[in-house]
Amino acid sequence: MKKTTAAVLGLFVALGGGVALGVPRAPTTALDQFAAQGLRKPGRPPMKVPTTPLEVDIALKQLDTEKAALEEELAGIDKELVNTDGRVLARGRTYYKQVRAGLLPAGGGFDELVDYAARVERTRLGLARDLESQKQLRTRRDEIGDQLLSIAADRGPLEAQKKAYDSAKTAMRQARERDDAFNRAFDSSTAPPDQLTIYGADIDSSDGAASKGFAALSGILPLPLAGRAQITKLERSGASGPALELRAPSGASARAVAAGRVVFADKYEDDKITVILDHGDRYFTVYGNLSAAEVRVGESIDSGGALGPVTSKRKESILYFELRKEGHAVEPGPWFGI
């Protein structure tokens, strides 16, 4: 009887004290599922730097896809951890109570003692599996957190690059729109000369030339800058013909050489403001290199009316001026009597 009791006690001690023994981890459903989906990775490979707008868009979409997959996996891990933590707590309490009970079941005989020892061992094995699963899930959760941070770090420069591309694209589109508007300005339908009164009388109309139409101002057209100006004839790149460059002291403002209607007032070349006036009978004047426009498209303006300050450089203002007939530049010098 003593030998039998000793054997049972040895079995019980071996089973009850086996919690420190290494137990192979049984597969867990959640982890195996994540691995099967190909989502379990130790880290993210370095991302190839995109060099075109299309590559930037593709890279951002790939990051979004990767982020969505990781967040979905993380949600599954969090859910599985709740279940695993619950099992660890329940089995831990059960195992503690079973081990603490010691030899109390021995009173039921040898068979009952062996059955009890087996239950203790099953509890221990289940607890070991849950602890291993818990460890793996937490490790993977941390990996996902690092990968999400890596994605955020990669996304920042890509978004800045995309913004730069979008800004450049917008700038080019706006430049094309301004070019189109500039060219359309010369295609506008104009009133016949006898209806020029809609623009208002010129400031200096004592000679009656203004009432005869813009063509009557040839040779007596006032300069587009007040005061003294140094005038240079030039052929401007992109212009349809001859033009004038007028230099005056810094702070000068451009003024209308005759009454007209504003058909263009926006940035054009070199990001400087250009104003175009329609004087009727398909005569137009172009005022370039302004720093701001003091008129709006559609506004009627009198002769001598302020158009805007001229951009200053090295203590002088430089105004670009064209005179066009039916959209084509004509020699402006004779119109000013020079």
d(CA 198, CA 275) in angstroms, rounded, equals 19
Q: Is residue 8 part of a domain?
A: yes
Same domain, yes or no: 155 and 213: no
Q: Considering its fold, how many domains does the chain have in total?
A: 2
Pairwise pLDDT comparison (184 vs 124), residue with the higher score? 124
d(CA 193, CA 214) in angstroms, rounded, equals 8
pLDDT at 80 over 80: yes
Q: Which of 152, 182, 212 is the last residue of a domain?
A: 182
Lowest mean pLDDT among 24-28, 70-74, 182-186: 24-28
Region 205-227: mean pLDDT is: 77
Q: Which of 123, 157, 182 is the last residue of a domain?
A: 182
Same domain, yes or no: 237 and 330: yes
Q: Is residue 31 part of a domain?
A: yes
Q: Is residue 15 part of a domain?
A: yes
Same domain, yes or no: 233 and 332: yes
pLDDT at 115 over 60: yes
Do residues 193 and 259 make contact, with C-beta atoms less than 8 angstroms apart?
Answer: no
Do residues 255 and 306 make contact, with C-beta atoms less than 8 angstroms apart?
Answer: yes
Same domain, yes or no: 116 and 205: no
- Which residue, among 314, 323, 192, 207, has the nearest Cα to 257 in the 3D structure? 323
Same domain, yes or no: 60 and 201: no
Res 240: pLDDT: 60
pTM value is: 0.51
Same domain, yes or no: 223 and 312: yes
Q: Which CATH number is 264's domain given?
A: 2.70.70.10
Q: Is residue 219 part of a domain?
A: yes
Q: Is residue 236 part of a domain?
A: yes
Res 296: pLDDT: 94
Same domain, yes or no: 99 and 121: yes
pLDDT at 216 over 70: yes
Q: Which pLDDT band holds residue 40 (cuts at 50, 70, 90)?
A: very low
- Which residue, among 172, 163, 279, 155, has the nearest Cα to 217 in the 3D structure? 279
Res 308: pLDDT: 95
Residue 82, helix vs strand vs coil: helix
Please name the residues in contact with 213: beta carbons below 8 A apart, sequence gap of 6 or more.
193, 194, 196, 280, 281
Pairwise pLDDT comparison (11 vs 271), residue with the higher score? 271
Same domain, yes or no: 121 and 263: no
- Which residue, among 189, 226, 227, 240, has the nearest Cα to 306 in the 3D structure? 226
Amino acid occupying residue 231: I
Q: Which pLDDT band holds residue 276 (cuts at 50, 70, 90)?
A: very high
Same domain, yes or no: 73 and 209: no
Lowest mean pLDDT among 50-64, 104-118, 218-232, 254-268: 104-118
Lowest mean pLDDT among 110-114, 263-267, 270-274: 110-114
**87 HSE (CA, 13 A, CB side):** 18
Q: Which two tokens stand for residue 22?
A: 């290494």
Q: Is residue 187 part of a domain?
A: no
Res 197: pLDDT: 29
Q: Is residue 188 part of a domain?
A: no
Res 170: pLDDT: 85
What mean pLDDT value characterizes the chain?
79
Same domain, yes or no: 214 and 306: yes
- Which residue, among 223, 304, 200, 322, has the nearest Cα to 264 in the 3D structure? 322
Q: Considering the chain, what percentage of its residues have pLDDT values greater than 70?
A: 76
Q: Which two tokens stand for residue 200?
A: 């208002």
Lowest mean pLDDT among 9-18, 38-47, 155-164: 9-18
Q: Which of 182, 215, 235 is the last residue of a domain?
A: 182
- Which residue, among 24, 134, 19, 26, has the nearest Cα to 86 in the 3D structure? 134
User: Which domain does 32 fall in, by range?
Assistant: 2-182
pLDDT at 204 over 90: no
Do residues 278 and 188 make contact, with C-beta atoms less than 8 angstroms apart?
Answer: yes
Q: Which two tokens stand for residue 49?
A: 């730097």
Other beta carbons within 10 angstroms of residue 176's beta carbon come to 10
Q: Is residue 214 part of a domain?
A: yes
Q: Which pLDDT band holds residue 239 (cuts at 50, 70, 90)?
A: low
Same domain, yes or no: 251 and 272: yes
Res 188: pLDDT: 57
Same domain, yes or no: 70 and 203: no
